[in-house]
A and B are shown apart, each in its own frame.
Chain A
Amino acid sequence: MQHDPSQHQPGRRAAGELEAAALAVLQSADSALTPGEVRDRLGGALAYTTVVTILSRMHAKGVLTRLKAGRAYSYAPVADGPGLAARRMRGVLDAQDERAVVLARFVSELSPADEQLLRRMLSERDMDG
């Protein structure tokens, strides 16, 4: 199967939407699905290779786990509720916007100077350990 990048390479935004849709499909499935099955359930005229690309990218990110199913892989969501909730939270914190501001974080980021200062404080007090 020949993959034409100019035709099927999804834009960044489209890739995100596709990933979300693929994740939803996999979460609602009872068992792991092959790329072909995911493509069928997604509907639309997606290329098989596009689905494979998206699923393997999600696997690389750690969102999906995959099992050898014959010659291909079948995919399943790696995280159940708690893991997913935590990942979403991480996304919120990384966004660095108003949503991140309302989450009171235990420690904020350190500048290199802060880091040195802290190390000095710890060693001066002799409480490193």
Chain B
Amino acid sequence: MLLLVCLPLCAPLLAAPAARLLADRLPPRTATWLLASSGLALAASSCGALGLITFAAAMRLPVVDALGGMSMPTVDRGDQATLPVGIITGALLFCAATAALRAGLLRVAALVSAQRQSRRLPQTSRLAGPDGAVVVADDSVDAYTVPGWPGRIVVTSGLLDLLSPAEREVVLAHERAHVRGRHYLFTAAARLAAAANPLLRPLTAAVSYSVERWADERAAAAAGSRPLAAQTIAKAALAASADLSRRPVRAATLGVVAARATGSGTGLVPRRVAALLRPPPKRGVLLAALTIALVVVSCLSAVAVASELHSLIEFAQAVASAR
């Protein structure tokens, strides 16, 4: 049991190296699906493993055995989780559940608030489109998607004035891809998984990056040119950056945030631009299959541990009733 239960607990250790690899090598749509679903599956199986160890340890308590009608000596011989181990895993599980619940509630509150904001946005705009982009009269350079039912696209006049018609189409196609792909669900899934298991934290950055890449590739396809999409992103980012530095107070706070977010490596925007200037990513079947295999094995071992524990309980109950 000990060996099997280690697998779901250790698999998330691979998240840090694997997340970056998957986000860089796979087509962004595949990467996003894979990262978000693997994150949820690994978080669930690692929490499941913690729960099973805790339960196995609890079976050493005479009270639990009496309640479950199990034979105490049988239980003692059958499993390896000791009480101190059980206390540790129980505490970890409690922390994981609390953190996941908190993260989930925070994210839902943020989404509800965004939805409320988007209702206040005007319904008509000078940019016609099926998704009703809203142009706000604002000199700052910004464009974003407000998630919701339906999602809304907001573009500042400052950004539009800067771009050529073809480049504007890139921005709108990018934001439309966020709305249509419901990308906020993927980032929320990654956030939830990371809250439940801190080892999965690298997934949140990887998913944020891969949904942007997903939208970038859609925009490039809509515009019919990947270099044009790259150019638009670079242009908008540089203009937004210059725009921010004109506002000293805000730029200072953002500087701190940016330094923390990007760490030592290259920031998100240059990575996106570089990716668009390279040939499109290959399908990466092997990499995807390996990831899926690892996640499935991790989940299956948690299930195997559960069924082992279940047989032990049944056996201990049988022994107790035979006496």
In the assembled complex, A7 has its CB within 8 A of some CB on chain B: no
Verify B244–A109 contact, CB threshold 8 A.
Answer: yes
Q: Which residues of chain B come closer than 8 Å to A46, judged between CB atoms?
A: none
A32 to B158, CA, bound (A): 29
- Measured CB to CB, the closest approach of chain B to A28, in angstroms, equals 17
Residue from B147, B175, B241 in contact with A102 in the complex, judged by beta carbons closer than 8 Å: B147
Nearest to A80 among chain B residues (CB) is B122
Q: How many interface residues does chain A have, given as a range?
A: 35 or more
In the assembled complex, A67 has its CB within 8 A of some CB on chain B: no
Contact (A110, B142) CB under 8 Å given A92-B117, A127-B227, A127-B231: no
- Measured CB to CB, the closest approach of chain A to B10, in angstroms, equals 29
Q: Which residues of chain B come closer than 8 Å to A99, judged between CB atoms?
A: 110, 113-114
Verify A96–B178 contact, CB threshold 8 A.
Answer: no
In the assembled complex, B274 has its CB within 8 A of some CB on chain A: yes
Verify A102–B261 contact, CB threshold 8 A.
Answer: no
Verify A83–B258 contact, CB threshold 8 A.
Answer: no
Q: Which of A8-16, A52-60, A112-120 contacts B (4 or more CB under 8 A)?
A: A112-120
Q: Which residues of chain B come closer than 8 Å to A5, judged between CB atoms?
A: none
A111 to B140, CA, bound (A): 18
Verify A89–B117 contact, CB threshold 8 A.
Answer: yes
- What mask results when residues 89 to 129 of chain A are scored 1 for a CB within 8 Å of chain B, else 0? 11011101111011111111111011101110110010100
Verify A109–B122 contact, CB threshold 8 A.
Answer: no
Q: Which residues of chain A come closer than 8 Å to B188, judged between CB atoms?
A: 102
In the assembled complex, A69 has its CB within 8 A of some CB on chain B: no
Residue from B114, B154, B234 in contact with A118 in the complex, judged by beta carbons closer than 8 Å: B234
- Measured CB to CB, the closest approach of chain A to B273, in angstroms, equals 6
Contact (A106, B231) CB under 8 Å given A88-B120, A121-B274: no
In the assembled complex, B73 has its CB within 8 A of some CB on chain A: no
A88 to B122, CA, bound (A): 13
For window 15-51 of A, CB contacts with B under 8 Å fall at none
Q: Which residues of chain B come closer than 8 Å to A92, judged between CB atoms?
A: 113-114, 117
Verify A125–B227 contact, CB threshold 8 A.
Answer: yes
Q: Which residues of chain B come closer than 8 Å to A70, judged between CB atoms?
A: none
Q: Which residues of chain B come closer than 8 Å to A119, judged between CB atoms?
A: 238
Verify A103–B144 contact, CB threshold 8 A.
Answer: yes
Secondary structure class of chain A's binding surface, majority of residues: helix
Contact (A115, B274) CB under 8 Å given A99-B113, A104-B183, A108-B269: no
Contact (A105, B144) CB under 8 Å given A85-B117, A98-B107, A110-B258: yes
A102 to B114, CA, bound (A): 8
A105 to B154, CA, bound (A): 10
In the assembled complex, B233 has its CB within 8 A of some CB on chain A: yes
Verify B267–A105 contact, CB threshold 8 A.
Answer: no
For window 213-261 of B, CB contacts with A under 8 Å fall at 215, 227, 230-231, 233-238, 240-241, 244, 250, 253-255, 257-259, 261
Q: Which residues of chain B come closer than 8 Å to A127, judged between CB atoms?
A: 227, 230-231
Verify B269–A114 contact, CB threshold 8 A.
Answer: yes
Q: Which residues of chain A come closer than 8 Å to B120, judged between CB atoms?
A: 81, 84-85, 88
Verify A110–B241 contact, CB threshold 8 A.
Answer: yes
A75 to B151, CA, bound (A): 35
In the assembled complex, B40 has its CB within 8 A of some CB on chain A: no
Verify B110–A106 contact, CB threshold 8 A.
Answer: no
In the assembled complex, B270 has its CB within 8 A of some CB on chain A: yes
Residue from A89, A102, A110 in contact with B237 in the complex, judged by beta carbons closer than 8 Å: A110
- Chain A residues with CB under 8 Å of chain B are 81-86, 88-90, 92-94, 96-99, 101-111, 113-115, 117-119, 121-122, 125, 127
Q: List 10 A-B contacts (CB under 8 A).
A: A82-B122, A89-B144, A104-B178, A104-B215, A106-B171, A109-B257, A111-B267, A118-B234, A118-B269, A125-B230
Apart from A106-B171, A109-B254, A125-B231: 4 A-B pairs, beta carbons within 8 A: A85-B122, A86-B121, A114-B270, A118-B269
